[in-house]
Copies of this chain bind each other. A is one copy, B any other.
Amino acid sequence: MKAIEKILINNKAGKFVCVGLDSDIKKIPKILQSDKDAVYKFNSEIIEATKDYAAAYKINFAFYEQNGSKGLSELERTAELIPDNILSIADAKRGDIGNTSEMYARSVYEHFKFDSVTLNPYMGKDSLQPFLDYHDKLNFILVLTSNPGANDFEKLLLDNGKFVYQEILLKINQWNDHHNCGIVFGATKTEELKSNIKNFGELTVLLPGVGAQGGSMSDVKKVFKDNKRENYIVNVSRSIIYKSSDSDFAEAARNEIIALHQISY
């Protein structure tokens, strides 16, 4: 199934929550920490408990790479746990010269077999092209991010009156011939979301920043509803997976995703 179809089917079923598996050995419940395969076991229980409500799972490479080859082995096995009807996102923020991006694309789409990836556009189109050449995948390109530093360069004003991130948004729309582009737009930026959503075109939107970072699920849902748009997913990481630090962590994660799923606007 094409990546974009997985999102559309889940959106039609009212599912908009992406579970971020930012699984850090130091933060997972103590009862698991002594297990030599702790992170994998944690992910396995979280996925099992949340899969009826998840529109996507997002795996952040940093949390695995910090443990080198052992961490990437946990990543490989976690990626295989994601049910085939739910979008898998490699949150890697990649982007490099063409020759190198080809290797990163091979990593994410052929070795780890993800449905989609997050990409950093700073180095321009040729740095993303190897990912765009995978027509059945979905490439979420950073537009306006959820962190305070988004103001430093993403919001610099250009001589044409637009912000840098708005120029990037415009270009991504032009790169979407194969309907395999999406964007990352911070859920913490409600005002910018309202004023830019009309320029999103057909692009699928991944919105991080709800929960620990302070974004509001109901605000995001309302903006999309008001603009009669679907094909978006809202990422929540820490406030689902670390909802409880006790033995009931999986049940607590399930209750949290159900609560987020039911939020109205």
Contacts and interface: CB of A to CB of B under 8 A. Distances in A.
Report copies per complex: 2
A70 B76 CA distance: 11
A68 B72 contact: yes
Interface string A129-167: 000000000000010011111111110111101001001
B164 A153 contact: yes
Contacts of A72: 65, 68-69, 71-72
B66 A111 contact: yes
Interface in A52-90: 60, 62-63, 65-73, 75-76
Contacts of A164: 153, 156, 164
Given A69-B72, A153-B168, A164-B164, 8 more contacts: A22-B99, A62-B103, A68-B72, A93-B94, A93-B123, A126-B147, A156-B158, A156-B167
A60 B107 CA distance: 13
A194 to B, nearest CB: 22
A123 B93 CA distance: 10
A238 to B, nearest CB: 8
A112 interface: yes
A125 interface: yes
Contact of A152 (B22, B125, B208): B125
A69 B62 contact: no
